[in-house]
Structure 1
């Protein structure tokens, strides 16, 4: 067992040519498969399980498949000799998926089943040896990693030498001669549903935590949406007020322009009236002048006649 890409199928391929080995971290084993093998003239059966943290399936689906197989084997009185839990040594820390998987694996086995478990680290050639040893020690001693498992009897081994180290791991399990019944097998035999088992409870708790976080995020997004909507409404009101002010300013300018135009036309009209009055005055003055000149001419003419008469 183990996460996707830790080398489960590769481990089995050292003893059986029926295992399909992937070349990357994408899930290769999609269903539980059984591979017969012979070690020290003894026939054994290696059970390859799909990895948790799968690229295409949920952990709940995978646990359900494993639990169903274990239930059937338990009902058929087929006991496991032990379990091999694999982990990549080059992983610089056990992340959320790894920690959850360890917790779920511990609950799947139960305290009595852990003494039949080998915790094996793989891919030692992908990391500097001293660093790999340091990480191995961290895995073995820290409670949140393998510390609790080791305290309950789990054996820690290195899968660092191909078939040689893999054979050593299998021989260690076979030497125990202690068939194991896992806690999840007993729980299901007692009539528990998968989500009621301890291992299922780990996933259930995680799903509930994810649901809680999702709801919190949704609440936060809804609050942000309300704030944005409120701000948008405020901006719309402000824009409407600005538009109203602009409209009023334009109307005032229009009125002022009309007043100015009316004043200009009134002034022109008054000037025209004044000009017309001046023209009338000029015309009247000319008429008076012409009349005066006519009278003067007439008077002059009469005076000439008068003078002539006097001379005569």
Structure 2
């Protein structure tokens, strides 16, 4: 990996637009973008977001917002561990680059009849990633109203906002709730977040950068580590049960059943190996995450160059640092707690993240 460029420290003239970044690390939802921005959607069952895609949203003559579209925890091709790994790399890069977050949006389809297990799990992980202090910067958005505001949808919305294990607790901590139910809804949501003057660092950033924890030592990492351990125990139990079945099949000379059980045993062992790989992936350090951040930025720039796409108009932090001997801390400048207008980020939270070739950062 090539060394990154130092970020320019050019002074911004008062007459130039204020650049802000918005990203969404958490949905399967169509993106709300400005008139000149594009966003990919799909009718397929597979995730359609394949890379980090900054898109400009012109808020006013003095403020340009950048939407950063990313894959997330409902990704059909990647495990939650892979997604968190890449999200963490992105957040570490922004934190070290002194870019703070102005807001997080979490999207939920109002047409979903109930909060399923995977949705609840993703919501818990979202809370762990943000932390209590950032919940006041969270906007909870219900989508796919299709111009309908019937009693059933309103009842679901009320249940979401009043039930503690759903959105109730976040609402109590200062989160806002909006409906994306009309052509002007997106601009209203953007204007609401753009009015925030209280940028925050989410817990994941603070724990990784300020406290120098490994990913598996963060609140979000520990939540996923618990899930990985459960999966591994489940597959280990399946191995024991399959072996018992194989012994019975051998006794009865049931070779067809034995063949099926042998295939099942291979599958169980493969899943155990995958669980162990996921556990190792969570052990990544801040240095490993910075390396991955550089790869993500380089990948995005290469994709833009290969498609002859113009620059997005915002300079993402490309960090210079010296690799230290194993076990030695990495010397990086501590993030500023009082950023100016030129280094603000508004984070959009839904369920999607960047498609970067998988890397092993153990």
Q: Same fold (TM over 0.5)?
A: yes
Q: Residue 114 of structure 1 corresponds to which residue in structure 2?
A: 135
The 8 Å contact of residues 89 and 135 in structure 1, kept in 2 or not, is answered as: yes
1:50-69 deviation per Cα after TM superposition (whole angstroms, max 9, x unaligned): 13221211111111111111
Residue 2 of structure 1 deviates from its aligned partner by 6.1
The 8 Å contact of residues 47 and 76 in structure 2, kept in 1 or not, is answered as: yes
Distance 1:212 1:184, change over 3 A: same
Q: Residue 80 of structure 2 corresponds to which residue in structure 1?
A: 59
Residue 215, structure 1, aligned to residue 236, structure 2: yes
Distance 1:165 1:219, change over 3 A: same
1:34-77 deviation per Cα after TM superposition (whole angstroms, max 9, x unaligned): 22211133211222121322121111111111111111111111
Q: Residue 84 of structure 1 corresponds to which residue in structure 2?
A: 105
1:273-292 maps to which residues of 2 (within 5 A)?
Answer: none
Residue 170, structure 1, aligned to residue 190, structure 2: yes
The 8 Å contact of residues 124 and 160 in structure 1, kept in 2 or not, is answered as: yes
Residue 28 of structure 1 deviates from its aligned partner by 1.5
Q: Residue 146 of structure 1 corresponds to which residue in structure 2?
A: 167
Residue 181, structure 1, aligned to residue 181, structure 2: no
The 8 Å contact of residues 18 and 35 in structure 1, kept in 2 or not, is answered as: yes
RMSD, matched Cα? 2.1
Residue 174 of structure 1 deviates from its aligned partner by 1.8
Structure possessing the higher radius of gyration over alpha carbons:
1
Q: Residue 59 of structure 2 corresponds to which residue in structure 1?
A: 39
Pick from 32, 36, 39 the counterpart of residue 11 of structure 1: 32
Distance 1:90 1:2, change over 3 A: farther
- Aligned residues between the structures: 229
Q: Residue 30 of structure 1 corresponds to which residue in structure 2?
A: 50
Please give the alpha-carbon distance, in whole angstroms, between the structure 2 residues aligned to 1:54 and 1:16: 27
**TM-score w.r.t. structure 1 length?**
0.68
1:112-138 deviation per Cα after TM superposition (whole angstroms, max 9, x unaligned): 001001010110128772211111112
When structure 1 is superposed on structure 2, of 208-217 and 122-131 the one drifting more is 122-131
Please give the alpha-carbon distance, in whole angstroms, between the structure 1 residues aligned to 2:110 and 2:59: 26
Residue 104, structure 1, aligned to residue 125, structure 2: yes
Residue 88 of structure 1 deviates from its aligned partner by 0.9
Please give the alpha-carbon distance, in whole angstroms, between the structure 2 residues aligned to 1:96 and 1:16: 37
Residue 161 of structure 1 deviates from its aligned partner by 1.0
The 8 Å contact of residues 55 and 68 in structure 2, kept in 1 or not, is answered as: yes
The 8 Å contact of residues 178 and 189 in structure 2, kept in 1 or not, is answered as: yes
**TM-score w.r.t. structure 2 length?**
0.59
Residue 96 of structure 1 deviates from its aligned partner by 2.1
User: Unmatched 5+ residue regions in structure 2?
Assistant: 1-23, 255-362
Residue 18 of structure 1 deviates from its aligned partner by 3.3
